[in-house]
Every structure is written in structure tokens, then in C-alpha cells.
Chains A and B, each alone.
Chain A
Amino acid sequence: GQSLEQPSEVTAVEGAIVQINCTYQTSGFYGLSWYQQHDGGAPTFLSYNALDGLEETGRFSSFLSRSDSYGYLLLQELQMKDSASYFCAVRSSTDSWGKFQFGAGTQVVVTP
């Protein structure tokens, strides 16, 4: 089986930096994905890490440590539009190919 843990909520001010951690337990592992979802909207893909290290895409970066079963999403120069829920997701390499599991999500609240 698989399980993922991420904080339920993070609050920060505009311009700040926020780090959302995700720890996972899985019998096998392909990679860690991150998605953003605004209230009432659909999830949108942010990043995918299959190898250890940091991947940077604009203001957002994602990190993975396979040995620690841990990853994080880093949101820099926070803007009001970044207020949303952020989900990490994993796919197990020993389970059926497509059995993705998502974390419960972290709500990021950006204040002026």
C-alpha cells in the first residue's frame, strides 16, 4: 500500500516563501508529482520528480529525496493568486501501473 502525509494548511504573506513537505510510504516508487487546485477548479499539474534533487520552474521548485521518502514544493515570491490547495501524488512501481495516490492536500493561504 501507499500513504502520503502533508500539512493541512500553511499561511504566509505576499512575497514570502512557503515550503510544503510531503512524506510518503510505498512499497515501490516511480516519482513524486505536485498539483495545484483553486477552490471550485480542477487540479493542474505543477511538477514531477523521478530523480533526487531540485527541479525549478519559475517561482515554484520541487525537491525529492528518494532515500528519505520525502519531497517538498517550494513557492517563492508568493502572490495572492497562489492561494490554493496543493497536492502531492505518487505512483507505486510494484502495484498496478496506474495506481496513483494523492495526499489530502495542503491549503496555502496568502495574506496581504
Chain B
Amino acid sequence: DAGITQSPRYKITETGRQVTLMCHQTWSHSYMFWYRQDLGHGLRLIYYSAAADITDKGEVPDGYVVSRSKTENFPLTLESATRSQTSVYFCASSESGDEQYFGPGTRLTVT
């Protein structure tokens, strides 16, 4: 089906483990984004990408790594998970940048 999907939808992991969150879109949008959402902070940009192989840091990139080898995929990796990374993670895509379409989110808990 067309759209933007994220996997897994829920994840529990332990401190220090590596975790990868997947994001896939079928619109061939050029721009893709990763946000985290915590109570009281709204949405904070982690990383974004303007095209395949082009990525840049957002507001809160520390502890995260991204790649974009294909236009449709934009995985986010937590290299060594910490409790402060417990959050809801949203991936978004956009053709223009200013109208973003969000995936359903991944609820990550780090114990």
C-alpha cells in the first residue's frame, strides 16, 4: 500500500544496546525526517535528508546515526541506547519539505 510506514511500532530494549528504527515511504518523496516526541517538548528534529546519500543533523542528533542509500528508506540507529532516548519516534517524508507526511510512530522504551 502507498504511504509511509515505520517498524517496529513498539520496542523495549536495554541500556547500551544498538537499536535500528525503520522508515519506508512509497511516494518517492525527496525529503525525509526523523523526530522524537516527548511530553512538553513537542516534536524535535533528529536528522533529515534531502535526497539519497544526503543527510544532515537536526536539533538533537547526539547518539543517533542515519543513512539513506535508497530514496524510499531512512533508517535511524541508536548506537548505544540510553534511558534518555525513551521516546516516541516519528518519521516523515515530503516532496516540498513544508508539507510533511508522518508515519505512525515507534514507541521506544529503554530500560
Of the candidates A50, A87, A99, the one whose C-beta lies within 8 Å of that of B43 is A87
How many residue pairs between the two chains, A and B, have CB atoms under 8 Å in the bound complex? 63
Instruction: Give chain B nearest CB distance to A46 CB in angstroms.
Output: 10
Write out the residue numbers on chain A whose beta carbons fall within 8 Å of the beta carbon of B44: 102
Q: Is the CB of B99 within 8 A of A33?
A: yes
Contact size range, B: 20 to 34
Q: Interface readout for B77-111 with A: 1 if CB under 8 Å, 0 if not?
A: 00000000000001010000111111111000000
Nearest residue (CB) in B for A88 is B42
| Contact present for B43 and A43 (CB under 8 Å) | yes
Once the chains are docked, how many angstroms separate the CA of A102 from the CA of B43?
A: 6
| CB-defined contacts of B31 to chain A, threshold 8 Å | 98
The interface size of chain A toward B, counting residues with CB under 8 Å, comes to: 24
- Looking at the assembled complex, report how far the CB atom of B10 sits from the nearest CB atom of chain A, in whole angstroms: 12
Q: Are the CB atoms of B42 and A104 closer together than 8 Å?
A: yes
- CB-CB < 8 A to A91: which residues of B? 97-98
Please, how many angstroms separate the alpha-carbon atoms of A98 and B76 in the complex? 17
